[in-house]
């Protein structure tokens, strides 16, 4: 068989809570350190122990990061899902199983090569204690895969040294387990398999990081000081990351005072209330949450919008409605976040496509929230937030100055004849703000009830409308300040394709496939809401545009129709919403179903 | 100081305090509440207390939820920022503001609907955090603003305006606060300014969560015969248990206290609160006893008022967060951002 270098995918099926996560991370990192582009997708249950979990690793010389549902090799270690896992292997592929327990001949597939390694037996002989044997079995399969795929064993050994260097006993058993798996496989099978790895130099400027860690780091760099939250998957690790970074970088070396405050709220209503209170007082404040949390925050979001208080929210989306599948990914909160709250509201939304953008957009979010004095919601998703992605190293420009917006200092207030909170002094729809405790002249009454431009209570329709109209102008003007869309036009393209956030990897891959098949397609990825003018221009310049997104109802398509008044007949929807990260083929199929490849 | 020689006939609200400010300077917009509403008397007590404390108005931040009571922060301290938030959620907004700027003097005003129904959770958690906030619950037993429905503080058997009796037990905010570990718990009556002003002053100076439940009759919906939150009923049933007096640290104690009956509590900054027992055998520093006493009084239909419970030195939310003396809002971005070199270093962790 012809060998396939650095271009294949494999999947590891285990049970949750058995310690497989660290072995999977080890494998992925070792491949990354071999300089080969790699991505991992963790499909885990909403459970602490026992339910099935899968880890998918895709190696792609071309650097494609999207999920692929075609697996050349399955590591089937969970009896509960064994039959289903076997069925998923692509024809001509391989199946690795624990041969401590024999397989039934009649149940075996004939188009798949079975590789049995008695992992449990090996561990029972080598290690003591039930828990330890279970844990080490994971490391054994890492060793087996090193032999089968050509993962550099030295990289695995080095990684265990970095990880367990301070715990000699653990280090020793880990290295022993790698060796056990490796040696047994090398002795019993022809290694490596035709699917194999070869060292490259394609990852030296890259990192492996998850979007929640990157976003937490963005909050740190943006100078956020107050974080309020109520734990919810898949956003929890964002606040955990922020906390850890603060403990490292934000304790005053002299006074030992914390230059941060993390408030674990009693619920999401309180979390957003705390953010609003802190922002009102002049801090950069944020809350990470997921769909159910945003639902609870609606009333407060309307207040922040109408009373013009900055607030930064991260919605790490999971499947809905209701509790949905908490550990599966989706983009089904697009409409909710665009117009959250009763009344006429519209919010600035940012849509990162990967952890690198999650970092950058976290910083953008604070600048935009303070500049426009309004909530900004960063919408990532479980796939971006919790999976490790290969992205360019994060960098920082030390010239960065936070955009704190129009906030009057004590001196400015002192010098001013009069301060009116909601007066459109500069004609840009953005009024001046004052902070509590600064100067008596800055005092005003912040309220969600009807108010006029002088911040006085009003029930006068004209006065009320004047303020409401200005706010609409203000928020709409943000479309020029949000990150510009990603656009890639192709020679000869007649149709367009628009996507958002985490669909990006699948879209770029699909568009390459289509072009190779003779169908060039223009591409735009929206990075924020309200939509930049380029979005409208893109729509106008194509008779038909495909809209790719991960929800049932085509929410991005609805938003485009609502906001640009594009003819709905010109927008074709391609959707994926079963809870898995998107892959390229359904996009290719979706386009080809409507457009013929030119002869 | 020329003003001392000014004729006594001068309007009392024009007498200046140590900052040279008169009571007028502590007022706000004209009230829009019903004439005779208890809430307006509490507003007047606030004005008096701030004036007596020589407080700079703009150092205060006033926060509230939604209700007639929650409107009142507009009616005092026009030179202070106010925040009329959403129904029942004032504690969260105050918590955020306090975390961001520990130097703000936070005052929260709420109603019994705002605090004990929709906002009960937030009240409880603000108490647990010991947020440095004076929280005044203007308690009238009804939802005034939505026209007189029973609130959770309505006593069982109390009649509404149509003569229907409330059947459910009341949530007693004072017992709740003591139970949850509040560090300053008082009850008063809007009609008793003598008692209320010193309580507000003491509450303002207390470091941590100071809770004052003030019976504040709703003249429009709950001041009739058969109501247990009317002026007449409260006058008849109120008993003062402990009288509080706030004494700034530098000042000599000039009042003659009967030695055995006074407990002195020194605050974090050296100020003192003198607690004068009116009821015999009452110890406002003993949480269990205070709780039992208030309940016993309730059983015989009496409403114990005064500074009912107080714990001395406490660690407030900002102490627990260890945010230090400098408000977070005053730390510069340069100090908050680790910079490019650190990020570069950090990146090796993700390889
Ligand atoms: C979410 C929400 N639900 C309902 C209301 C209507 N509402 C306004 S004030 C109020 C009750 C206020 O009662 P209380 O806090 O006791 O204040 P009072 O008017 O008696 O001083 C209600 C139910 C609201 N503003 N918001
Ligand atoms: S309705 Fe009741 S609570 Fe509201 S202002 Fe009138 S008297 Fe006061
Ligand atoms: Mg009420």
Q: Which two tokens stand for residue A334?
A: 């697009």
Q: Which two tokens stand for residue B264?
A: 């002195």
Domain chopping of chain B, boundaries: 23-242+282-318, 251-280
**Residue B6 pLDDT:** 42
**Residue A261 pLDDT:** 98
CATH topology of domain A486-592: Rossmann fold (3.40.50)
State whether the beta carbon of B208 lies less than 6 angstroms from ligand 1: no
Q: What's the pLDDT band for B258 if we cut at 50, 70, 90?
A: low
Three-state SS at A535:
helix
**Ligand 1 atom closest to residue B117's alpha carbon, by position in its atom list:** 15
CB contact under 8 A, B121 and A270: yes
Q: What's the pLDDT band for B260 if we cut at 50, 70, 90?
A: low
Please determine, for residue A23, whether its predicted confidence score (pLDDT) is greater than 70. yes
Q: Where in chain A is the domain with CATH 3.40.50.970?
A: 209-392
Nearest CA to ligand 2 atom 5: B33
State whether the beta carbon of B222 lies less than 6 angstroms from ligand 1: no
Q: Which two tokens stand for residue A456?
A: 């006085």
CA of B86 to the centre of ligand 1 (A): 9
Question: B338 at the A interface (CB within 8 A)?
Answer: yes
Which member of B63, B93, B101 has the closest CB to residue A282? B101
Q: What's the pLDDT band for A49 if we cut at 50, 70, 90?
A: confident
State whether the beta carbon of B178 lies less than 6 angstroms from ligand 1: no
Distance between CA atoms of residues A179 and B231, nearest Å = 85
Chain A residues in contact with B121 (beta carbon < 8 A): 266-267, 270
Nearest CA to ligand 1 atom 24: B87
Please determine, for residue A589, whether its predicted confidence score (pLDDT) is greater than 50. yes
Q: Where in chain A is the domain with CATH 3.40.50.920?
A: 486-592
Nearest CA to ligand 1 atom 4: B87
Q: What's the pLDDT band for B271 if we cut at 50, 70, 90?
A: confident
Q: Angle B195-B199-B203 (CA atoms, 0-180°, nearest 5)? A: 175
| Domain B23-242+282-318 in CATH 3.40.50.970 | yes
Phi and psi for A283 in degrees, rounded to 5? -90, 160
Question: B119 at the A interface (CB within 8 A)?
Answer: no
Q: Which of B140, B147, B231 to mutate to test the pocket of ligand 2 (most atoms within 8 A of CB)?
A: B140
CA of A326 to the centre of ligand 1 (A): 34
State whether the beta carbon of B68 lies less than 6 angstroms from ligand 1: yes
Q: Which of B119, B138, B144, B150 to mutate to test the pocket of ligand 1 (most atoms within 8 A of CB)?
A: B144
Bridge pairing between strands B184-189 and B303-310: antiparallel
Chain B residues in contact with A260 (beta carbon < 8 A): 323, 328
**Residue A535 pLDDT:** 98
Which uninterrupted H or E stretch holds A278? helix A268-280
Q: What is the largest CA-CA distance in chain A?
A: 90
ipTM for the complex shown:
0.96
Three-state SS at B303:
strand
Looking at chain B, the whole-number percentage of residues with pLDDT higher than 90 is: 83
State whether the beta carbon of B144 lies less than 6 angstroms from ligand 2: yes
- How does pLDDT run across A440-466, given as a tens digit for each residue? 999 999 999 999 999 999 999 999 999
**Residue B3 pLDDT:** 33
Distance between CA atoms of residues B17 and B128, nearest Å = 36
State whether the beta carbon of B217 lies less than 6 angstroms from ligand 1: no
CB contact under 8 A, B103 and A437: yes
Distance between CA atoms of residues A532 and B153, nearest Å = 52
Q: What's the pLDDT band for B256 if we cut at 50, 70, 90?
A: low
CB contact under 8 A, A209 and B350: yes
Distance between CA atoms of residues A335 and A320, nearest Å = 13
Q: Which two tokens stand for residue B80?
A: 């202070």
Which member of A275, A279, A440 has the closest CB to residue B79? A440
Please determine, for residue B326, whether its predicted confidence score (pLDDT) is greater than 70. yes
CB contact under 8 A, B121 and A220: no
**Residue B5 pLDDT:** 40
Phi and psi for A126 in degrees, rounded to 5? -90, -25
Contacts with A, B 21-80, CB within 8 Å: 56-59, 61, 63, 73-74, 77-80
Mean pLDDT, chain B, integer: 93
Which member of A223, A252, A256 has the closest CB to residue B333? A223
Please determine, for residue B8, whether its predicted confidence score (pLDDT) is greater than 60. no
Beta carbons within 8 Å of A329's beta carbon, 6+ residues apart? A234, A317, A318, A319, A381, A382, A383, A502, A550, A579, A580, A581
Distance between CA atoms of residues A174 and A24, nearest Å = 14
CA of A335 to the centre of ligand 2 (A): 40
Q: Which among A379, A310, A299, A294 is positioned nearest to A341, based on CA atoms?
A: A299
Sheet holding A521-526, edge to edge: A486-488, A521-526, A495-500, A545-549, A571-575
Q: What's the pLDDT band for B12 if we cut at 50, 70, 90?
A: low
Please determine, for residue A69, whether its predicted confidence score (pLDDT) is greater than 70. yes
Q: Which among A487, A489, A490 is positioned nearest to A499, based on CA atoms?
A: A487
Instruction: Give the position of tokens 């394709």.
Output: A497
Mean pLDDT, chain A, integer: 97
Give mean pLDDT, residues B245-258. Answer: 71
Please determine, for residue B4, whether its predicted confidence score (pLDDT) is greater than 50. no
Which member of A276, A397, A444 has the closest CB to residue B96? A276
**Ligand 1 atom closest to residue B112's alpha carbon, by position in its atom list:** 16
User: CB-side exposure of B243: number of CA atoms within 13 Å?
Assistant: 14
Give mean pLDDT, residues B67-81. Answer: 98
Nearest ligand atom owner, CA of B221 = 2
Question: B84 at the A interface (CB within 8 A)?
Answer: yes
- How does pLDDT run across A245-261, given as a tens digit for each residue? 999 999 999 999 999 99
Chain B nearest-CA residue for A28: B351
CA of A392, closest CA in chain B: separation in Å?
10
**Residue A1 pLDDT:** 67
Beta carbons within 8 Å of B304's beta carbon, 6+ residues apart? B187, B239, B241, B279, B293, B294, B297, B298
Q: Which two tokens stand for residue A190?
A: 């022809």
Q: Which among A354, A345, A399, A342 is positioned nearest to A378, based on CA atoms?
A: A354
Q: Which two tokens stand for residue A153?
A: 């064993």
Chain A residues in contact with B94 (beta carbon < 8 A): 277
Q: Where in chain A is the domain with CATH 3.40.920.10?
A: 4-202
CA of B166 to the centre of ligand 2 (A): 19
**Residue B92 pLDDT:** 98
Which one of B96, B325, B330 would you mutate to disrupt binding with A, by most A Cβ within 10 Å of its Cβ? B96
CB contact under 8 A, B97 and A33: no
**What sign results for the dihedral spanned by CA atoms A294, A300, A304, A305?**
positive
State whether the beta carbon of B140 lies less than 6 angstroms from ligand 2: yes
CA of B259, closest CA in chain A: separation in Å?
40
- How does pLDDT run across B81-119, given as a tens digit for each residue? 999 999 999 999 999 999 999 999 999 999 999 999 999
CA of A455 to the centre of ligand 3 (A): 26
Please say whether the beta carbons of B93 and B99 come within 8 A: no
CA of B335, closest CA in chain A: separation in Å?
8
Please say whether the beta carbons of A312 and A532 come within 8 A: no
- How does pLDDT run across A178-193, given as a tens digit for each residue? 999 999 999 999 999 9
Which uninterrupted H or E stretch holds A528? strand A528-529
Q: What's the pLDDT band for B255 if we cut at 50, 70, 90?
A: low
Contacts with A, B 123-142, CB within 8 Å: 124-125
Asked which of A222-236, B53-67, B248-262, B266-280 is least confident by mean pLDDT, the reply is B248-262
Please say whether the beta carbons of A59 and A38 come within 8 A: yes
- How does pLDDT run across B199-229, given as a tens digit for each residue? 999 999 999 999 999 999 999 999 999 999 9
CA of A567, closest CA in chain B: separation in Å?
39
CATH topology of domain A4-202: Pyruvate-ferredoxin Oxidoreductase; domain 3 (3.40.920)
The CATH number, out of the four listed (3.40.50.970, 3.30.110.30, 3.20.20.330, 3.40.50.150), of the domain defined by the range A209-392: 3.40.50.970
- How does pLDDT run across A359-416, given as a tens digit for each residue? 999 999 999 999 999 999 999 999 999 999 999 999 999 999 999 999 999 999 999 9
Please say whether the beta carbons of A318 and A234 come within 8 A: yes
User: C-alpha A88: how far from its chain's center?
Assistant: 26
Q: Which among A583, A535, A522, A586 is positioned nearest to A561, based on CA atoms?
A: A535
CA of B70 to the centre of ligand 2 (A): 11
Please say whether the beta carbons of A272 and A301 come within 8 A: yes
CB contact under 8 A, B328 and A261: yes
**Residue A50 pLDDT:** 84
Three-state SS at A276:
helix
Sequential DSSP letters for A106-174:
GG--SSSEEEEE-HHHHHHHH--SHHHHHHHHHHHHHHHHHHHHT--HHHHHHHHHHHHTT-HHHHHHH
Please determine, for residue A215, whether its predicted confidence score (pLDDT) is greater than 60. yes
Please determine, for residue B259, whether its predicted confidence score (pLDDT) is greater than 60. no
Chain B nearest-CA residue for A253: B335
Q: What's the pLDDT band for A43 if we cut at 50, 70, 90?
A: very high
CA of B151 to the centre of ligand 3 (A): 7
Whether residue A408 is preceded by a cis peptide bond, meaning omega within 30 degrees of 0, is: no
The neighbouring-strand residues paired with A25 are none
Three-state SS at A56:
strand
State whether the beta carbon of B142 lies less than 6 angstroms from ligand 1: yes
State whether the beta carbon of B33 lies less than 6 angstroms from ligand 2: yes
Looking at chain A, the whole-number percentage of residues with pLDDT higher than 70 is: 100
Give mean pLDDT, residues A524-528. Answer: 98
Please determine, for residue B141, whether its predicted confidence score (pLDDT) is greater than 90. yes
Which member of B89, B97, B103 has the closest CB to residue A278? B97
**Residue B276 pLDDT:** 82
Q: Which among B142, B139, B115 is positioned nearest to B220, based on CA atoms?
A: B142
């Amino acid at each position: 068989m012809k060998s396939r270098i650095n271009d294949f995918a494999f999947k590891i099926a285990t049970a949750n809570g058995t310690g497989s996560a660290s072995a999977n991370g080890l494998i992925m990192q070792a491949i990354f350190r071999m300089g080969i582009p790699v991505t991992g997708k963790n499909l885990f249950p909403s459970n602490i122990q026992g339910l099935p979990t899968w880890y998918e690793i895709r190696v792609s010389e071309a650097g494609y990061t999207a999920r692929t549902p075609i697996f050349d090799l399955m590591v089937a270690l969970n009896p509960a899902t064994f039959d289903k896992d076997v069925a998923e292997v692509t024809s001509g592929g391989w199946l690795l199983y624990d041969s401590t327990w024999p397989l039934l001949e009649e149940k075996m597939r004939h188009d798949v090569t079975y590789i049995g390694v008695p992992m449990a037996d090996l561990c029972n002989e080598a290690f003591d204690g039930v828990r330890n044997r279970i844990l080490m079995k994971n490391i054994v399969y890492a060793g087996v895969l090193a032999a089968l795929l050509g993962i550099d064993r030295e990289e695995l050994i080095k990684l265990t040294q970095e990880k367990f260097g301070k715990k000699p006993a653990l280090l020793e058993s880990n290295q022993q387990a790698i060796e056990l798996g490796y040696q047994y496989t090398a002795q019993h099978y022809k290694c490596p398999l035709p699917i194999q790895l070869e060292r490259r130099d394609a990852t030296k400027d890259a990192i492996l990081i998850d979007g929640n860690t990157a976003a937490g780091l963005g909050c740190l760099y943006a100078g956020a000081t107050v974080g309020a939250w109520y734990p919810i998957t898949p956003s929890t690790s964002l606040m955990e990351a922020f906390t850890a970074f603060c403990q490292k970088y934000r304790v005053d070396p002299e006074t030992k005072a914390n230059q941060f405050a993390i408030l674990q709220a009693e619920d999401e209503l309180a979390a957003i209330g705390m953010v609003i209170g802190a922002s009102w007082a002049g801090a950069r404040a944020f809350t990470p949450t997921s769909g159910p949390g945003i639902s609870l925050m609606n009333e407060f979001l309307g207040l922040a919008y109408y009373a013009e208080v900055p607030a930064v929210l991260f919605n790490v989306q999971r499947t809905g409605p209701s509790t949905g599948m908490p550990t599966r990914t989706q983009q089904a909160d697009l409409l909710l976040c665009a117009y959250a709250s009763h009344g006429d509201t519209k919010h600035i939304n940012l849509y990162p496509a990967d952890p690198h953008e999650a970092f950058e957009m976290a910083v953008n979010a604070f600048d935009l929230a303070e500049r426009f004095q309004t909530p900004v919601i960063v919408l990532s998703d479980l796939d971006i937030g919790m999976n490790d992605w290969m992205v360019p190293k994060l960098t920082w420009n030390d010239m960065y100055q936070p955009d704190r917006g129009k906030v009057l200092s004590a001196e400015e207030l002192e010098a001013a004849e009069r301060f009116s909170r909601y007066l459109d002094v500069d004609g840009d729809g953005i009024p001046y703000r004052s902070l509590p405790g600064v100067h008596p002249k800055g005092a005003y009454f912040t309220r969600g009830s009807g108010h006029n431009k002088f911040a006085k209570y009003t029930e006068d329709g004209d006065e009320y409308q004047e303020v409401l109209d200005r706010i609409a102008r203000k928020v709409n003007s943000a479309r020029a300040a949000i990150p510009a869309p990603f656009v890639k036009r192709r020679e000869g393209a007649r149709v367009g394709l628009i996507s958002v956030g985490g669909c990006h990897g699948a879209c770029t891959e699909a568009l390459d496939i289509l072009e190779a098949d003779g169908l060039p397609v223009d591409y735009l990825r929206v990075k924020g809401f309200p939509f930049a003018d380029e979005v409208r221009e893109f729509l106008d310049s194509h008779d038909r545009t495909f809209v790719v997104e991960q929800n049932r109802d085509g929410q991005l398509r609805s938003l485009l129709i609502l906001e640009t008044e594009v003819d709905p007949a010109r927008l074709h929807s391609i959707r994926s919403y079963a809870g898995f990260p998107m892959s390229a083929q359904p996009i290719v199929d979706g386009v080809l179903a409507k457009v013929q490849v030119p002869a | 100081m020329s003003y001392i020689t000014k004729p006594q006939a001068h309007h009392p609200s024009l007498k200046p305090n140590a900052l040279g400010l008169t009571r007028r300077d502590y007022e706000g917009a004209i009230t829009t509440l019903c004439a005779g509403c208890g809430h307006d008397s509490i507003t007047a007590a606030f004005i008096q207390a701030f004036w007596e404390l020589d407080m700079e108005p703009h150092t205060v931040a006033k926060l509230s939820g939604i209700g007639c009571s929650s409107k009142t922060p507009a009616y005092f301290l026009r030179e202070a920022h106010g925040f009329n938030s959403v129904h029942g959620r004032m504690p969260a907004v105050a918590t955020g503001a306090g975390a961001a700027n520990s130097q703000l003097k936070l005052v929260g005003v709420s109603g019994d609907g705002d605090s004990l129904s929709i906002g009960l959770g937030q009240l409880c958690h603000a108490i647990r955090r010991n947020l440095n906030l004076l929280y005044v619950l203007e308690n009238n037993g009804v939802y005034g603003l939505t026209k007189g429905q029973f609130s959770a503080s309505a006593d069982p058997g109390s009649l509404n305006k149509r003569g229907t009796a409330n059947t459910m037990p009341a949530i007693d905010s004072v017992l709740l606060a003591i139970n949850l570990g509040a560090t300053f718990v008082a009850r008063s009556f809007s009609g008793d300014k003598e008692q209320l002003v010193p309580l507000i002053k003491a509450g303002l100076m207390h470091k941590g969560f100071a809770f004052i439940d003030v019976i504040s009759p709703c003249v429009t919906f709950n001041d009739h015969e058969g109501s247990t939150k009317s002026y007449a009923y409260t006058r008849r049933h109120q008993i003062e248990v402990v009288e509080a007096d706030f004494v700034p640290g530098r000042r000599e104690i000039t009042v003659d206290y009967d030695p055995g009956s006074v407990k002195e509590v020194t605050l974090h900054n050296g100020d003192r609160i003198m607690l004068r027992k009116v009821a015999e055998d009452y110890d406002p520093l003993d949480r269990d006893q205070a709780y039992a006493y208030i309940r016993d009084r309730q059983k015989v239909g009496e409403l114990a008022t005064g500074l009912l419970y107080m714990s001395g030195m406490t660690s407030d939310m900002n102490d627990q967060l260890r945010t230090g003396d400098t408000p977070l809002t005053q730390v510069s971005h340069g100090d908050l951002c680790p910079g490019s070199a650190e990020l570069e270093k950090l990146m090796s962790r993700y390889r």
